[in-house]
């Protein structure tokens, strides 16, 4: 790559220093000698110059990528073919995430969250416009000098994949270490594939290891087909979200917008991240050994007019002490006497002429400087940013070529969090392309103290919060065995439990007791009374016994319950347990000597019925069953009579 330094591509881009290389391209820091700015030039492998299918796709993808203008996507300025195809990109001096990791740096969870949030914002912007990256990896996550992330190479992976080019290893184009399961299977991919790859990148950034990484590309790819991504505990509060984006089924993964919202919610519970340990793309101090490392810088001004030593004073006589060359000795002294005799008038004229010459030279210098100076940049009316989100404000500035400064944030009463509330310059002001504008993003109303809601009844909560300039949010009832219904158990603001402070006007969600959970009456039929009663007591219910005859249930066993099995009752409710007394038996009375009418009445009183009557007469002398026998209540007793 060093041999390429100094080469000019397309008659415009002079390669200044190498930045990095891969299997299919080399990247250089370059000077755009037309616009006099630093750019990055990605020079693709010369073998691709003869691949017409690739060149068609490359041109189409370059045009499409150039239309993507977003604060977290690398800007594409130009493309061309000079010995091989090349792309001209925005130069980012902060280096790549891959360079950071190669130097042994590891990110904290908070730093990884910031990297992930900026990446998903760029991905969401592209996905909503129909673009899929297909090759998210640390080498394609770049940073500017202030640590803001940009995603590089949108469209290039697709163009390479549809070319005849293969990497020296024979693998498909794109990094197997970060490929999604659907890429491994050769299936069509969408935005869910980019999020899967980003999840692997974030895990590597914190732990130094890529899940499923094996000795070969094939082993790496096959290991993740159908498998959930194992998220290490080191990812902390990011772990549940990374597990979701690491699902093998792309339809089960959240989209970029959802991931962004989840990351913002998680960030509320993390400390602010430390600055990223950037690995600079190029050591600019090393460029001083190169010829003309700063071609856009004007040369130093010539020394001021005056004496030969640069000092101010009267013009020095150009003639030597001995007079002009070839003059006789003494001629110089005679000449000086003649000049002195001429008086001050001649000297004055000479000074005037000298001043006029100096003015002409100064004017010429100014004219030359003006001729060399570049044309002033175009100007545009500053748009109104107030009411936009931070991303929308950056997009609006990018459309007029103005750089956004790091946004200021502050709490302001009556404003919505996340929206721009002030800007500089103001809307309508004419601003030049390349200038910087700043804006202020609201953090919402100033925070106020959240009062303790401990043990309050839910009917009291709204008034207490109103007195603290807060409002009651969602009320969630939860069963509690020891706290009465309606009493507050806890309260939340967002994901924070029992917060001490929250923005004025915020909604505070509360969790209240719904009292003890209802009990389900168990199935007790056939159980002994003692066991059934204990089972009900264990559930917090009261057992009440009711005995009843039953022909089929043994005495002492449960026949049924009221309420029946499976029904729900409140804790402490009474449940009636019906216990069998066995069959209902009665003794056949002695009816001998009784008249038929008397015998019938006695049987009915005993719970029996009169059966058939055998013989002639009115006096009973025997029965069947006979007197003293034990029979079931309602049994028919046959009678024998005579005169």
Catalytic residues: 135
Contact (CB, 8 A) for 59 and 79: yes
What residue has token string 């993808």? Answer: 61
Cα distance between residue 637 and residue 619, in whole Å? 15
Q: How crowded is residue 272: how many other Cβ atoms within 10 Å of its Cβ?
A: 7
Both structure tokens of 354: 């000298």
DSSP helix/strand/coil, 309: coil
Cα distance between residue 635 and residue 589, in whole Å? 12
Cα distance between residue 484 and residue 516, in whole Å? 8
Contacts of 440 (CB under 8 A, 6+ apart): 407, 408, 409, 410, 420, 421, 422, 423
DSSP state of 201: H
Cα distance between residue 256 and residue 264, in whole Å? 12
Q: Write 299-305 long-range contacts (CB < 8 A, 24+).
A: 301/365, 302/365, 305/358, 305/361
DSSP helix/strand/coil, 81: strand
Cα distance between residue 149 and residue 114, in whole Å? 9
Dihedral sign, Cα of residue 47, residue 32, residue 402, residue 140: positive
Q: Give me the sheet containing 488-493, strands edge to edge.
A: 471-478, 507-513, 488-493, 496-497
Q: Is 505 exposed, middle or buried (0-12, 13-18, 19+ CB in 10 A)?
A: middle
Both structure tokens of 415: 């404003």
Cα distance between residue 553 and residue 565, in whole Å? 18
Q: How far from each other are the two terminal CA atoms of the chain, in whole angstroms?
A: 140
Q: How crowded is residue 572: how many other Cβ atoms within 10 Å of its Cβ?
A: 10
Contact (CB, 8 A) for 556 and 590: no
Of 192, 297, 290, residue with least CA distance to 245: 192
DSSP helix/strand/coil, 400: coil
Of 588, 569, 571, 605, residue with least CA distance to 639: 588
**DSSP letters spanning 511-527:** EEE--SPPEEPP--TTS
């Amino acid at each position: 790559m060093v041999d390429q330094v100094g080469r000019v591509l397309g008659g415009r881009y002079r390669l200044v220093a190498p930045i990095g290389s891969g299997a299919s391209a080399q990247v250089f820091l370059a000077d755009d000698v037309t616009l006099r700015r630093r750019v990055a030039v990605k020079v693709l492998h010369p073998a691709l110059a003869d691949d017409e299918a690739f060149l068609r796709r490359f041109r189409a993808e370059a045009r499409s990528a150039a239309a993507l203008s977003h604060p977290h996507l690398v800007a594409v300025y130009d493309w061309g073919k000079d010995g091989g195809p090349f792309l001209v990109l925005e130069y980012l001096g902060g280096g790549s995430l891959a360079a950071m990791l190669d130097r042994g740096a590891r990110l904290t969870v908070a730093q990884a969250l910031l990297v992930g949030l900026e990446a998903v914002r760029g991905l969401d912007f592209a996905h909503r416009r129909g673009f899929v990256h297909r090759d998210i990896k640390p080498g394609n996550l770049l940073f500017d000098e202030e640590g803001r992330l940009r995603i590089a190479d949108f469209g290039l992976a697709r163009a390479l994949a549809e070319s005849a080019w293969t990497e020296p290893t024979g693998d498909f184009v794109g990094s197997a270490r970060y490929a999604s399961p659907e890429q491994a299977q050769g299936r069509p991919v969408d935005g869910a594939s980019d999020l899967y790859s980003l999840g692997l990148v974030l895990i590597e950034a914190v732990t130094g290891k890529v899940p499923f990484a094996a000795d070969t590309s094939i082993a790496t790819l096959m290991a993740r087909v159908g498998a959930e991504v194992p998220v290490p505990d080191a990812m902390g509060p990011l772990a549940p979200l990374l597990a979701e984006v690491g699902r093998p089924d792309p339809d089960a993964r959240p989209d970029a917008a959802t991931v962004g919202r989840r990351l913002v919610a998680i960030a509320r519970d993390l400390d602010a991240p430390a600055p990223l340990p950037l690995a600079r793309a190029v050591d600019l101090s090393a460029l001083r050994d190169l010829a003309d490392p700063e071609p856009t810088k004007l040369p130093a001004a010539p020394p001021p007019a005056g004496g030969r030593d640069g000092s101010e004073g009267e013009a020095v006589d150009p003639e030597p002490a001995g007079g002009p060359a070839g003059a006789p000795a003494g001629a110089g002294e005679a000449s000086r006497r003649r000049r002195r005799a001429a008086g001050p008038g001649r000297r004055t004229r000479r000074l005037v002429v000298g001043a006029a010459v100096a003015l002409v030279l100064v004017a010429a210098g100014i004219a030359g400087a003006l001729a060399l100076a570049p044309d002033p940049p175009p100007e545009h009316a500053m748009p109104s940013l107030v009411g936009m989100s931070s991303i929308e404000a950056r997009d609006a500035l990018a459309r007029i070529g103005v750089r956004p400064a790091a946004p200021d944030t502050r709490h302001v009463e009556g404003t919505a969090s996340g929206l721009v509330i002030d800007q500089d310059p103001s809307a309508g002001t004419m601003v030049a392309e390349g200038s910087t504008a700043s804006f202020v993003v609201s953090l919402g109303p100033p925070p106020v103290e959240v009062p303790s809601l401990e043990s309050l009844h839910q009917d009291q909560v709204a008034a207490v919060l109103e007195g603290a300039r807060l409002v009651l949010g969602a009320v969630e009832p939860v069963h509690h065995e020891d706290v009465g219904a309606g009493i507050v158990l806890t309260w939340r603001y967002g994901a924070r439990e029992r917060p001490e402070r929250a923005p004025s006007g915020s909604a505070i969600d509360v969790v209240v007791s719904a009292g003890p959970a209802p009990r389900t009456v168990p199935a007790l039929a056939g159980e002994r009374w003692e066991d059934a009663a204990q089972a009900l007591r264990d559930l917090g219910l009261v057992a009440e016994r009711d005995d009843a005859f039953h022909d089929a249930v043994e005495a002492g066993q449960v026949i049924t319950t009221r309420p029946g099995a499976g029904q729900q009752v409140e804790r402490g409710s009474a449940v009636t347990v019906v216990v069998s007394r066995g069959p209902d038996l009665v003794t056949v009375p002695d009816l001998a000597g009784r008249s038929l009418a008397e015998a019938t009445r006695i049987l009915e009183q005993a719970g029996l019925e009169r059966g058939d009557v055998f013989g002639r007469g009115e006096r009973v002398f025997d029965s069947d069953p006979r007197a003293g026998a034990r029979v079931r209540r309602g049994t028919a007793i046959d009678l024998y009579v005579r005169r």
